[in-house]
């Protein structure tokens, strides 16, 4: 069960078996396809528009 900004909807977590209650997942056509990493989200927010020293987050 996921809460989409107030709307509760049942989605499949067969593709992200590690998901636990309380996690944030990315939902696509009724299936969770990935998870949100809260630490990385904070890091990206801090990065926005910073000087170029903050670049080079190579994948």
Partner 1 sequence: MKYIDEFRDGDVARKIADRLATEARGDRQYSFMEFCGGHTHAISRYGVSELLPTNVRMIHGPGCPVCVLPIGRVDMAIKLALEHDVIVCTYGDTMRVPASDSLSLTKAKARGGDIRMVYSAADALTVARDNPERQVVFFAIGFETTTPPTALAILRAQREGLKNFSVLCCHVLTPSAITHILESPEVRQYGTVPIDGFIGPAHVSIVIGAAPYEHFAEEYRKPVVIAGFEPLDVMQAILMLVRQVNDGRAHVENEFTRAVDRDGNLAAQQKVSEVFELRPSFEWRGLGEVPYSALKIRPAFAEFDAERRFDVGYKPVADNKACECGAILRGVKKPTDCKIFGTVCTPENPVGSCMVSSEGACAAHYAYGRFKDIPVVTA
Backbone angles phi, psi at 17, to 5 degrees: -60, -20
Smallest gap from residue 23 Cβ to partner 1 (A): 11
With CB under 8 A, what is the number of residues at the site for partner 1?
35
C-alpha 31/C-alpha 27 separation (Å) is 5
Strand, helix or coil for residue 42? helix
Which single residue is written with the structure tokens 């927010």?
A: 45
Told to check if 48 binds partner 1 by CB under 8 A, we report yes
Q: Which two tokens stand for residue 48?
A: 């926005």
Rounded to a whole number of angstroms, the minimum distance from the CB of residue 25 to partner 1 is 9
Contact positions vs partner 1 (CB under 8 A): 4-5, 12, 14-17, 24, 26, 28-31, 33-38, 40-41, 43-45, 47-52, 55-59
């Amino acid at each position: 069960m996921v809460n989409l900004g107030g709307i509760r909807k049942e989605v499949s977590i067969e593709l992200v078996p590690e998901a636990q209650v309380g996690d944030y997942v990315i939902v696509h056509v009724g299936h969770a396809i990935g998870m949100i990493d809260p630490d990385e989200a904070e890091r990206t927010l801090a990065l926005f528009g910073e000087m170029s020293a903050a670049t080079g987050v190579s994948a």
